[in-house]
Each structure stands twice: as C-alpha cells, then as structure tokens.
Amino acid sequence: MNYELIGITVLWIFLYGYLIVASIDFGAGFFAYYAKLTKKDHIINQLISRYLSPVWEVTNVFFVFFFVGLVGFFPDMAYYFGQSLLVPGSIAIVLLAIRGSFYAFENYGSKDNHLYMFLYGATGLLIPASLSTALTISEGGFIEETANGVQLLYGKLLTSPYSWSVVFLAVVSVLYISSMFLTYYANRAGDKPALELVRKYALFWSSPTIIASLTTFIALSQQNLEHYQRAIELWWVFGISVGFFLIAVFLIYIGKYYGWAFIAVMFQFLFAFFGYGASHLPYLLRPFVTLSSGVTNETMAISLIIAFIAGLFLLIPSLILLMRMFLFDADYVKGKK
C-alpha cells in the first residue's frame, strides 16, 4: 500500500466518522425544533439534550480533522478547493459557527429560546447541503482554470440535477441516520413515549433515503459517466449496503434489537461511502488532481502517518471514556446522573 492510498483511506475514515456523528447531531437539531413546533418537545427534547450536550464539540473536530488532513496529505487540494469554494465554504463556516455557538448559548445560557432552537434546527439541514457541494464539485465540470486562477461556475452548479440530487441525499440521510440513532438511544433510556415518536421518524425517513440514493446514481451517470461505470463495477459493495439498509429497517419495523439496527445503519453507510470513494479514484478533483499527482512528499506523508497513529493511541482511550460515561452509561442515559 502506498502513502497516498493510506492517506486517503485515513481521511475517508474521518469523513465517514463525521458523516455519522454529525448526521446524528444535525438531525437531532431538526427533530428538536420540529417537536417544539408540533408541541411534542416534552417527549423527546430531554433525551436529545442529554446526548448532545457532552459531544457536540467532538463532532466539530471530526470535520476539522478531515480538512486539515486533506491539506496535509494533498496540498494541491488546498489550492483548487480553496480557490473555488470561497463562497460555499464561507457559507458553511457561517452556518457551522451559528450552530455551534447558539447550541452552547441555548444549552448553557437561556434555555428554550425559540430563536436559538430555530437556528439550531435550520442549520442542521443547511450545513449538510452546503458541505455536500465540495463532493459535487469533485466530480468535475463545475470549475475552470483560467489565466486568472481557478473559478467556480456557479450557473452550472446551481442548474445541475446531480448537484441537487446530492443535496437531497445529504439532507434525507441526515434525518434517517439521526432518527435511527435516537430510536436506539430512547430504547436504551427506557423512554417509551420518546421511542414511539422517534421510531416513527426513522421509518418515515427510510424510503426517501433509498430513493435519493438511486436518483443520485442516475444523476451521476449524466454528470460523470466514467465514475458511474467504475461504481457499477463495484456493484456488490452497493448491494451489501442495500442489504444492511433492509436489515436496519426490518429491525426497526418489528421493534426489536435497536442497537443492531443502528449498527446496520452504520454498515449501510460504510459500504455506500467507501464504494463511492473507491470508484471516485484515481481522481480527487476531476480532472485537476489525482491521488498520485496531488499527494505530498514522502517525508511529510510518513510523518503525518506517524503522527496519526500516535494520536490514535491518545484519542481512542479518551473517546471510549467519553462514550462509557455518557453514551453507554445506563444511569446517565436514563437521566439519573
């Protein structure tokens, strides 16, 4: 295995981690606001806040990790993405900033402030939409390199069916992953009314998720035929993903093994995400950066990998500690601590 492959795999794992933990967080914000609007907030908001309070900052770091790592392993990406993503990137920063800070303001400061709740709910859907732009652009055809540097073609981006199907997929996946997790968490807390409510959300959002996945596939064939064909060659990976989807939905439907159901969701996205990633190669940003053209020098790659491994030795025990204290500590989950 060469360095660039190790590098992109590590980064992809982090992006996958972000996809899962951030989706839980983004979706929970939306559900909390939706529950408030439909006057059901007394049922689930306690549950949501008990989960989110200790972990929101950690979620953010997954994302920072990904883009700092991307600049480190593939400095050319900093140049092309930096040049082209100024506007969508800045909008994403603003949304992330509003979300993070107002979550803290609401949670530690003024409880149940309607405006804060609204911001928290709305940004939960807008952030995935704006961040997904980066993946859309990477397919090629949305930026051009001229004598005046690299520019994003806004008209093309905003009128492309592929771009909108990715946005749609991002938003529904967020709601699907989040409601699946909350179902598990509510069950763990032994909170029957909350469980009933979030289980309904989970079942509701499952079919749009699979429909959005299919439409994105079709749109991809229009946008980038080569990538589509490589994805078709990996059909079995996506097949396994659909299999896990069916397992997850079945378990939620029969109302048993919620923990396994969420694990199935994680595998569903793991396979889909890595299938997408693998078929995306060799391009990181078509046609400007490929895996081997964009990679940093060998010395830096080695030192980053060493730093990464050393860092994991520090982080994994700490993350386990955090999870044991808040996610899997039955008393904490039930609100007794």
Residue 142 has φ and ψ, to the nearest 5°, of: -110, -10
DSSP-derived secondary structure for 289-306? EEHHHH---HHHHHHHHH
Q: Could you give the string, one character per residue 35-54, with x where binding to other proteins holds by CB under 8 A and - elsewhere? A: ------------------xx
Residue 336 has φ and ψ, to the nearest 5°, of: -90, -10
Candidate residues 319, 330, 334, 335; the one interacting with other proteins per rule CB under 8 A: 319
Q: Interacting stretch for other proteins, rule CB under 8 A, among 20-28, 61-69, 198-206, 237-245?
A: 61-69
Per-residue b/e over 222-245, b at no fewer than 16 CB within 10 Å? ebbeebbebbeeeeebbebbeebb
Cβ neighbours of residue 262 closer than 8 Å, sequence gap 6 or more = 180, 181, 183, 184, 248
Per CB under 8 A, 222 contacts other proteins:
no
Nearer to other proteins, 85 or 171 (CB): 85
User: What letter would DSSP give residue 328?
Assistant: S
Nearer to other proteins, 61 or 203 (CB): 61
Candidate residues 2, 5, 149, 218; the one interacting with other proteins per rule CB under 8 A: 149
Per CB under 8 A, 1 contacts other proteins:
no
Are 259 and 252 in contact by the 8 Å Cβ rule? The answer is: no
User: What letter would DSSP give residue 224?
Assistant: -
Q: List strand residue ranges (DSSP E) for 55-170, in order.
A: 143-146, 149-152
Q: According to CB under 8 A, which residues from 63 to 122 bind other proteins? A: 63-65, 67-69, 71-76, 78-83, 85-87, 89-94, 96-98, 100-105, 108-110
Q: List residues binding other proteins (CB under 8 A).
A: 53-55, 57-58, 60-61, 63-65, 67-69, 71-76, 78-83, 85-87, 89-94, 96-98, 100-105, 108-110, 148-151, 296-297, 299-300, 303-304, 307-308, 311, 314-315, 318-319, 321-322, 325-326, 337
